[in-house]
Chains A and B, each alone.
Chain A
Amino acid sequence: MLKFAIKRILVSIPTLLAIITLVFFLVHITPGNPFDGERALSPEALKSLMAQYRLDLPLWQQYLLYLNDLIHGSFGISMKYLGQPINHLLFPDNMGGFWVTLRLSIYTMAIAVPFGIICGAYAGLHKNSWFDKLVVSSNIFFTAVPTMVTGPLCVLVFAVTLRLLPAGGWGDGDIAHLFLPVLVLILAYTPTIAFVTRGSIIDVLNSNYIRTARAKGLPTKKILFKHAIRPTLLPVISLLGPMFAGILVGAVVTEQIFTLPGLGVLTTNAATNRDYNMIMAITILGSILTIVFNIIVDLLYMVLDPKIKQ
């Protein structure tokens, strides 16, 4: 298994390099530069800034220097927040950036995953019951009604009208401030997890080997926990990897509604401001997370499904 993991990591390096290269050139050929503003800078100031950020060099040279920085663990300096290192903006000493989003995603997943799996399994086992219908329809409902609706609605109800919780902000990362954003994310992700689990368990229970087990007279409990659970979880796990990575870099809407200092807001800002280094850093971070989670998912697959080992 270790051999497999190492192999996967090695294979992902060229993928990552390809992403870095592609995004680097795409970002730099997009019209406009980080220092264009309503008030155009004087030519001297612009020249000096371009030199500071090496933007006066030929593109290939900038690219090589950028790779060199990366190898030394630096994402460079932000072009929007002048003089601030990207590493510091993404991973600040105090609460902010990646740490906020990480906490948000961990809380969300910690609740959404078990809750989603249990609901899904229960619905699958009681196909066509009212509960099953609830799971199916809530999946449809929350896919159609995204966080951009549930978020403001929650703020309106719990913060503005009932005055139970703050309308936004991070506070000290306390429960009161986290409650609504986590709730909104749970509402967004749980139904999907439940829906996939439900579909999977129905498939598994209809498979031949379960029928055989039943025919042999094994008790239902044993069938479920011994034989059905592993294959049921396979599609759920392959969903969770990208989902976790997705919340980490993509909770933009939730962060915006609740004015949280996470990664999502930095992402949109970086793109509109042509903060080249920030765009690159977030893309690389997102790619690494996706790759890592995919590897974890594959490893879990091996644990759950011996067939894959071969």
Chain B
Amino acid sequence: MLNIKKLTALLLITGISSGLSACSKEAKDSSSANKGKSLITVDNGEDAPTIDPVMTQDSTSARVLYDLFEGLVSFDQSNHTIPGLAEKWDISTDGKVYTFHLRDGLKFSDGSPITADDVVFSWQRLADPKIASPYINLAANIVNGNAIKNGKLPLSQLGVKALDAKTVQITLVSPDAKFLQICSMPNTAIVSKANVTKYGQTWADPKTMVTSGAYTVGEWVIKGHMLLNKNPNYYDAKNVSINQVNILPIVDYNASFNRYKTGEIDITYSLPIDQYKTIRQDYPTQEHTAKMEALYYYDLNMTLPKFRDNLKLRQALSMAVDRETLVKDVLGQDQVPSYSYVTTTIENGKFANNRYLWASWSSDNRINEAKKLFKEAGYGPSHPLEISISYNTMDSHKKIAMAIASMWQQVFGADSIKTTAANQEWKSFIQARNTANYDVARDGWTADYDSVDAYTDLFLCKNPLNKSKYCNPAYDQLIQQAQDTQDPEQRIKLIQQALQTAQSAYAIIPLYQYTYYRLVAPRVGGYNMESNHLDHVMSKWYKLK
């Protein structure tokens, strides 16, 4: 409707203003506006769609919620789990029973005590089908979680029990190596039973909301700012050094960059993509790039006979893509070329070697093999392949689609493959991809936790997130076995085996691992991005230099 015009306008702004700001090389000491105050201003890219922990499903809300609420378990800047509201826990030998011991004297922001009852209540909210948490499945592995989800049992039957005021026991259906990480996710954070019960549906109103984390919400103007105040009742308040954090929702990358330059923002969220190199040069000590726990890939639609019945074609298409060129020349933000269904950083690089063999081949060998496979797949000048690449409207997706189309044409010959680009607006695209209404579709996945399950689950037959619709019961079985085993070595072996099975089916074309880059003002200390691949951030880490 009114939007074609406005979108063009926005694109133009981005283009023009990036051109303009490229002319101004400023590497002066920024953040003059905030100097001296115990207040840090952070861009979060957008407004949090929700600040109710169980309703969160996006990183924007999560960024705020890590400050407002804490779970039984917390995490450090290298994504390792550390004690949260629980100071310690015991795990039974079969890996199914977790007993959490809460810290002494825990209090909510209103001064009321945090008890095991609140913990039970918080987990019951997650499992409650009436509340409809998008992450309700996190509770599915807890005893009776599934039955409660389907409305067959009451909430009180959930396998989360208060043994006494300070002890909580959670019983799982099957052991889960990532369960402690789940206990550190915003969805399982602890809310005040009294507060939520009192205000019901509107409890997440900043004015009345009671929190369990290091901060509380002082003020929230949608599209304006969210001001967080330090929570004096937080158990670790003495180590929280920043009194106020102002979180901004700046959508426009250039606007964010400008406001950083004038010192109005201390930490940016996203920066203009095309200025990566200049910004790196101009702000050598303030610019930080980190590998992100996220993968960019193409789905091949396995419900279409042309892909489903032709492994050689799928392999040829994957092999023909020159990922090094894509990353270096098309994207250029130090992304990592990907030859695997998982990233090289997940679980401290345990699966980094799980790459396609041809990843280390010379370019000529790789291309020759791809050509051979393409021919064997039955395609050539006399029988050209027609293929359409679907992506949602965004410059970077378009660039990548064009680059890949031209790589395919170069390798297989322009008369042997005809590619069209099907560019769709976001919501239409999502719908088309979810219903397998595409040939080849752009896809991406950001891990919620530092566990390989974040990626391997994507290829399970029944997972709605499995967009390529690849389904191999043997794969599902291996993943199940890996989950059931108590032996960590065995688990890794089984997962590697599963990955080999899935990867050799070539249902997706892995392209690269994302990176993210930010500017951090010189006055801000205590924030280390480089090892934080999940980009889970808490303001309590910040210090003023």
Given the known interface contacts A48-B130, A156-B20, the answer about A148 and B464 at a Cβ–Cβ threshold of 8 Å is: no
Please tell me the number of chain A residues within 8 Å of chain B, measured between CB atoms: 65
Q: Which of A32, A152, A267 is B427 in contact with, Cβ under 8 Å?
A: A32
Contacts of A82 in B (CB 8 A): 49-50, 52, 55
Considering the complex, give the chain B residue whose CB is closest to the CB of A97.
B222
B309 contacts chain A at the CB level, 8 A cutoff: no
| Chain B nearest CB, measured from A148 CB (Å) | 4
Q: Determine if B223 and A95 form an interchain contact, defined as CB atoms under 8 angstroms apart.
A: no
Task: Verify A272–B427 contact, CB threshold 8 A.
Answer: yes
Measured between beta carbons, the chain A residues less than 8 angstroms from B49 are 80-82
Whether A36 sits at the interface, judged by CB under 8 Å, is yes
Interface pair A152/B262, CB less than 8 Å apart: no
Give 1 or 0 for each of A1-43: 1 = CB within 8 Å of chain B CB: 0000000000000000000000000100011110011111111
Query: How far, in whole Å, are A261 and B55 apart by their CA atoms in the complex?
Result: 24
Among the 9-residue stretches B4-12, B83-91, B229-237, B275-283, the one with 4 or more Cβ atoms under 8 Å from chain A is: B4-12
A168-B222 in contact (CB<8A): no
Q: Which residues of A sit under 8 angstroms from B427, Cβ to Cβ?
A: 30-33, 36, 272-274
Stretch at the interface among A66-74, A250-258, A301-309: A250-258
Which of A36, A160, A256 sits near B431, CB closer than 8 Å? Answer: A36
Q: A45 contacts B252, CB within 8 Å?
A: no
Q: Which residues in B have their C-beta under 8 angstroms from that of A111?
A: none
A199 at the interface (CB under 8 A from B): no
Of B62-70, B131-139, B162-170, the segment with at least 4 beta carbons within 8 Å of chain A is: B131-139
CA distance A221 to B256 in the complex (A): 53
Alpha-carbon distance between A262 and B150 when the two chains are bound, in angstroms: 42
Q: Check B222 against A271 for contact (C-beta < 8 Å).
A: no
Query: Given the known A-B contacts A37-B57, A38-B430, are A256 and B251 also in contact in the complex, defined by CB atoms under 8 Å?
Result: yes
Q: Which residues of the partner chain B approach A273 to less than 8 Å between Cβ atoms?
A: 427
How far is it, in angstroms, between the C-alpha of A272 and the C-alpha of B2 when the chains are bound?
11
Contact between B223 and A261, CB atoms less than 8 A apart: yes
Q: Scoring B residues 1 to 27 as 1 if CB is less than 8 Å from chain A, else 0, what string do you get? A: 111001101101100110011011010
Whether B474 sits at the interface, judged by CB under 8 Å, is no
CB-contact partner of A259 in B13, B201, B252, under 8 A: B252
Contacts of A97 in B (CB 8 A): 222-223
CB contacts (< 8 Å) of A80 on chain B: these are 49
Least distance between B348 CB and chain A CB atoms (Å): 25
B204 CB contacts on chain A under 8 angstroms: 83
Shortest distance from the beta carbon of B264 to any chain A beta carbon, whole Å: 6
Question: Is A94 among interface residues, defined by CB-CB distance under 8 A?
Answer: yes
Cα distance A268–B133 in the bound complex, in angstroms: 27
CB <8 Å contact, B259 and A259: yes
User: Is B486 part of the binding interface, using a Cβ–Cβ cutoff of 8 Å?
Assistant: no
As a 0/1 sequence over residues 262 to 293 of chain A, the CB contacts with chain B under 8 angstroms (1 = contact) are 10011110011110000000000000000000
Q: Which residues of B contact A39 (CB under 8 A)?
A: 57, 134, 465
Choose from A45, A153, A168, A262 the contact partner of B133 (Cβ within 8 Å).
Answer: A45
Residues of B within 8 A of A44 (CB): 129, 132, 136, 149-150
Please indicate the chain B residues that have their CB under 8 angstroms from the CB of A272 in the complex. 3, 425-427
Chain A, Cβ-Cβ closest to B33: A166
| A48–B222 touching, CB < 8 Å | no
Q: A82-B50, A83-B52, A268-B10 are in contact. Are A262 and B259 (CB under 8 A)?
A: no
Digitize A224-261: 1 where CB-to-B-CB distance is under 8 Å, 0 elsewhere: 00000000000000000000000000001100111111
Q: How many residues of B contact A (CB 8 A)?
A: 67
* B10 proximity list for chain A (CB < 8 A): 253, 256, 268
Report B-chain residues with C-beta under 8 Å of the C-beta of A265. 223, 251
A38 touches B255 (CB 8 A): no
Q: A167 near B223 (CB under 8 angstroms)? A: no
Closest to A49 in B: B132
A194 within 8 A of B: no
B132 → A minimal CB distance (Å): 3
Q: How far is the CB of B259 from chain A (nearest CB, A)?
A: 5
If A42-B464, A81-B50, A259-B250 touch, whether A160 touches B21 (CB-CB below 8 Å) is: yes
Q: Mark A155-191, 1 if CB is under 8 A from B, else 0.
A: 1100111010011111000000000000000000000
For A32, the chain B residues whose CB sits under 8 A away are 425-428, 430-431
**Chain B, 238-251, contact with A by CB distance < 8 Å: what is the 0/1 string?**
00000000001011
Whether, in the assembled complex, B261 has its beta carbon less than 8 Å from a beta carbon of chain A, the answer is: yes
- Given that A82-B55, A152-B20 are contacting pairs, would A257 and B50 also be in contact in the complex, using a CB cutoff of 8 Å? no
In angstroms, Cα B1 to Cα A265, docked, is: 16
User: A274 CA to B430 CA in the complex, in Å?
Assistant: 12
Known interface pairs A95-B221, A266-B223; A259-B47 also in contact (CB < 8 Å): no
On whether the beta carbons of A257 and B428 are closer than 8 Å, the reply is no
Say yes or no for B202: interface residue by CB 8 A criterion: yes
Q: Is B434 an interface position by the 8 A CB rule?
A: yes
B444 on the A face (CB < 8 A)? yes
A295 at the interface (CB under 8 A from B): no
**Residues of B contacting A257 in the complex (Cβ-Cβ under 8 angstroms):** 13, 17, 252, 255
Question: Counting chain B CB atoms within 10 Å of each CB, which of A26, A38, A259 scores highest?
Answer: A259
Is the beta-carbon distance between B134 and A41 smaller than 8 angstroms? yes
B99 interface residue, CB < 8 Å from A?
no
B410 close to A (CB within 8 Å):
no
Q: How far is the CA of A272 from the CA of B137 in the complex (A)?
A: 28
Contact among A36, A41, A48, A256 with B13 in the assembled complex (CB-CB below 8 Å): A256
The answer to whether A37 touches B13, judged by C-beta atoms less than 8 angstroms apart, is: no
Q: Which residues of B contact A149 (CB under 8 A)?
A: 16
The CA-CA distance from A138 to B472 in the complex, in Å, is 67
Pairwise interchain contact B465-A160, C-beta atoms closer than 8 A: no
30 contacts between A and B (CB under 8 A): A31-B427, A32-B430, A36-B431, A39-B134, A42-B464, A44-B149, A47-B132, A81-B222, A82-B52, A82-B55, A83-B204, A92-B222, A94-B221, A146-B9, A148-B9, A148-B17, A152-B16, A152-B20, A152-B21, A152-B254, A159-B262, A166-B33, A166-B264, A168-B250, A168-B255, A169-B225, A253-B6, A259-B248, A271-B3, A272-B427
Q: 3 tightest CB-CB pairs across the interface, nearest first?
A: A32-B427, A261-B224, A48-B132
Knowing that A45-B133, A95-B221, A261-B225 touch, tell me 20 more A-B residue pairs with CB under 8 angstroms.
A32-B428, A33-B427, A37-B58, A42-B136, A52-B132, A81-B47, A81-B222, A146-B9, A148-B9, A151-B17, A152-B21, A153-B20, A160-B26, A160-B261, A161-B24, A168-B258, A257-B17, A259-B248, A262-B223, A266-B223
